[in-house]
A and B are shown apart, each in its own frame.
Chain A
Amino acid sequence: MTGHHLRAASIGAVVAFAATLALWWVRDDRPSPPRRVKQVIMSVRSGPQSLNWLTRHDATTYLVALLTQAPLVRINAATQEIEPWLAERWTRSDDGRRYRLMLRRDVRFSDGAPFTSDDVVFSFAAAFDPASTIADALTLKGQRIRAERIDAHTVDVIFPATYGPELRVLDVLPILPKHRLENALDTGTFGEAWSVSTPPADIVGLGPFVLTTHEAGVRLVFDRNPHYFRRDSDGRVLPRLDRLVLQILPDQEAQTLSLRAGENDGSASEIRPADYPLFKPMDEAGELRLLDLGTARNPDGLWINLKPGAFETDSRRVWLQRDELRQAISLGVDRTRFVDIVFNGAADPINGPLPPRSHSWAADLPPVPFDPELARARLASIGLEDRDSDGMLDDQGTRHARLTLITQKGQTALERGATNIRDQMKAIGLEIDVRMMEAGALIQQFLSGGGYDAVYFNLTTTDTDPASQLDFWKSDGAAHVWNLGPLHKTLAWEDDIDALMDRQVTSLDVKERKRLFGEVQRLFSEHAPIVYFAAPRVFVAVSRRLTGLNPAVSRPQLLWAADTLDVIQ
């Protein structure tokens, strides 16, 4: 190497080193926010589809609504109890259909405009705009729930029939500022109002924060709403934070790494079961906090296509839709082993859609034992036996009893769960082929009601009250997944469940509602249209500086109560 080369290489190295140092130095020297600014950074998987919750239903739009808007009454996500929110109290008429709500006085929107009953009536009207996606939730027996103005601070909410959950349904309806959106509703442009392109200053609400910055795909910044109506039990103004930043990190690996690197304070949703071993040592070392929030409310389940006639030309029709097959699957899976393999032990074995530890509505059902012999006996009763002594069950025509189980690709718990079911079923001689599909393709497949044998998937519900899950329980519901699609006929026991649910929804007697729903669960357990195995425990990982947490099992576990969130400076 000549002297020239050495000199050039040395200069290059020194320049590169100096540039790196300069970048580092300048970065560290950046003016940091003043110490008094209390700021928290949480990560979310995607940006909002809209800034108007009434027109889009993705998780981040919901989060934006939670932070910037407020409903008349709120469901406390931690206790599942209904709480007065913008309505401070209410009375119910004798016929149980009319509720008189007394609104809080001296409440102002984030732009300083006063909140009145006109805003409530307007919000009900907006909920039934053609662009609204919450109209179904505010419809009972085909008729709308209405709001009538009594005076500036009193409003009547009228139900078309008595409704068991009473005012819980109002939790889905944020009260929107009439003075800002009236024109859009009148001109038929409500669907485009408050889109992601809307300047943040135009988004006005009654929630604890106001949106100040939205950089698509990068972040959302919320500053405290100076007009927020709530105070804590000590009379101090809320929210406690000055600023909340939602960092958009689309990849869960990136979220995990970012939290590990201390770049944010946590994720808006739970960690994956697979990440538990990663975060546990960090919790023990005091680097962050791992919170165990309890058992998930929406477990994964397996169902077989029970649509009458779905297997008309298939030789398996004599056994594929029989109750005994699903009962055998339930009996043949060792749930303890399932929990260990699929969830690293962090789950509760279950045998129904409502995990008893997280659902006050769960009936006391007898546990399903792990009994391979009984499972084989059930299968034998529908003609499935090992006729050629190869260890696998055969149907009457000596073909292997075989079915295909489809599940969602990329969801570790579903992938592991489906393969574990396949492995455990093989031990009792039932052959299951597992096929992974993308979520949309999978959903479209089973929504069409045909072209599949069995599905292993997760159905999400937002509220725990059974009346809010009619789409799942009732045979004409959109989430009645085991018997769906056009020209569907109900099964005999489904008619019984329909009748019980109709009575359950309209009863105002909580005890009676619980009794009726217990009956529903017993029928469900007997016919097992969906077989459940385990409900995972829910963990969130957060930085140690976060205080004032009021975590809930359901999403968003921490930010549902963002107004009490605080940090140690």
Chain B
Amino acid sequence: MTARFFLRRGLAAICFVFLVSSAAVFLTRLAPGDFVAQTRGTTISPTEAARMRARLGLDRTAAGQYVSWLSGVVRFDLGASFIDGRPVATVVAERAKNTAWLAVAALALATCLGVGVGTLTGSRRGVWWSAVLTQLSLALLALPPLLTSLMLIFFAATTRWLPVSGMRSPATMSGALDVAWHSIVPVMALALPMAASFERVHARSIEATLAEPYLVAARARGVGEARILWSAAMRPALRSLASIYGVAAAALFSGSFAVEMVTAWPGLGRLLVEALVARDVYLVAGCALAGSMILALLTLCGELLLAAVDPRAVE
């Protein structure tokens, strides 16, 4: 049963990746304007433009170009970017790494904050600080990552306490620490709304779990509040969070695209926008392929997590 479950999910993920990347090729190709018009405009003669289109394969039909792209994909060749001629796989891998770091860091922060604060607010309803944290959570929940990042950037630019753009200091580029320093604004922009969402889900779950008869009985038998909360209630309460974790992680990944643009983070989202603007068909397809693979993987991880805390989900 479990093997069938994962086989089914795996096949669905492969179909999803295939459909998304194929659609990316067709939609980019069929959208008005092409790479030559987009990047050279009126600065190129019709003869030169025709030569450039032929060189890039833009003189073929959308179907012809798709077949050519697909035959490359089965050989693990995603083609070359029209923009700078580099292999799409290399360009995408460079940027996907940066997006992955952003998403993982934000997810970790959101999980720690969401579970930590959610446990406290869920177990202590009616206390003033719990009410304040709940209101704060609701406010953050209402903010999309784009708005959060704009607010944080405004704060950073005004105070000059934090870097506002890029992944590294352009002058010194001093390694991992510098990246961590530059990650603060984008990671917080992504993590805060997600943490609020986790906090709300987990707080309700904790509250409901603590009201379960077996925990009421444990309390009556004299088991301490801390032990009930952290040992007995935590695992069953995490089921609710686990059930939305995959979707939330996927949403966070999508949200990172907007944050990357605003904070000039050199990730997959920024690359996708640049590729779309330039109508770089293969690069758009490569970004879509990588993006959909990461989405499928995150959803699968969420399901695995759910299966770990609630084996009934597999059934």
Contacts and interface: CB of A to CB of B under 8 A. Distances in A.
Contacts of B277: 438, 440
Contact of B264 (A26, A41, A249, A478): A249
Given A23-B180, A263-B163, A447-B37, A478 B46 contact: yes
A133 B120 CA distance: 65
Interface stretch (A81-89, A110-118, A215-223, A319-327): A215-223
B270 interface: yes
B310 interface: no
Contact of A50 (B35, B46, B85, B172): B85
A30 B261 contact: no
Contacts of A27: 177-178, 181
A541 to B, nearest CB: 14
B28 to A, nearest CB: 11
Given A1-B120, A478-B44, A41 B32 contact: no
Interface residues of A, number: 66
Interface in B151-207: 153, 156-157, 160, 163-174, 177-178, 180-181, 184
Interface stretch (A97-105, A252-260, A358-366): A252-260
A18 interface: no
A443 B37 contact: yes
Contacts of A26: 177
B65 to A, nearest CB: 17
Interface string B249-273: 0000000000001111010001101
For B31, B37, B94, B279, the residue with the greatest tally of chain A CB atoms inside 10 Å of its CB is B37
Contacts of B266: 216-218, 248
A481 B174 CA distance: 50
Given A41-B171, A439-B33, A478-B46, A23 B226 contact: no
Given A195-B86, A444-B34, A471-B45, A249 B172 contact: no
A257 B164 contact: yes
Given A23-B181, A250-B264, A257-B164, A46 B274 contact: yes
Contacts of B263: 254
Nearest to B41: A443
Nearest to B180: A23
B137 to A, nearest CB: 16
B84 interface: yes
A46 B91 CA distance: 15
B125 to A, nearest CB: 12
B43 interface: yes
Contacts of B129: 1
B313 interface: no
Interface stretch (A4-12, A68-76, A503-511): A4-12
Contacts of B9: none
A217 B274 CA distance: 10
Given A27-B181, A254-B263, A459-B42, A2 B226 contact: yes
B172 A32 contact: yes
B144 interface: no
Given A1-B127, A218-B166, A47 B84 contact: yes
Given A12-B116, A254-B262, A443-B37, A437 B32 contact: yes
B42 A263 contact: no
Given A47-B84, A260-B157, 9 more contacts: A32-B172, A49-B39, A56-B84, A217-B94, A217-B95, A439-B33, A444-B32, A447-B37, A479-B42
Interface of B: 31-35, 37-46, 48-49, 51, 83-86, 91, 94-95, 116, 120, 124, 127, 129, 153, 156-157, 160, 163-174, 177-178, 180-181, 184, 225-226, 261-264, 266, 270-271, 273-274, 277, 279
7 contacts: A49-B39, A49-B85, A245-B170, A258-B164, A263-B169, A440-B277, A478-B49
What 8 A-B pairs have minimum CB-CB distances, sorted nearest first? A440-B33, A440-B38, A441-B32, A441-B33, A247-B170, A217-B266, A479-B42, A254-B264
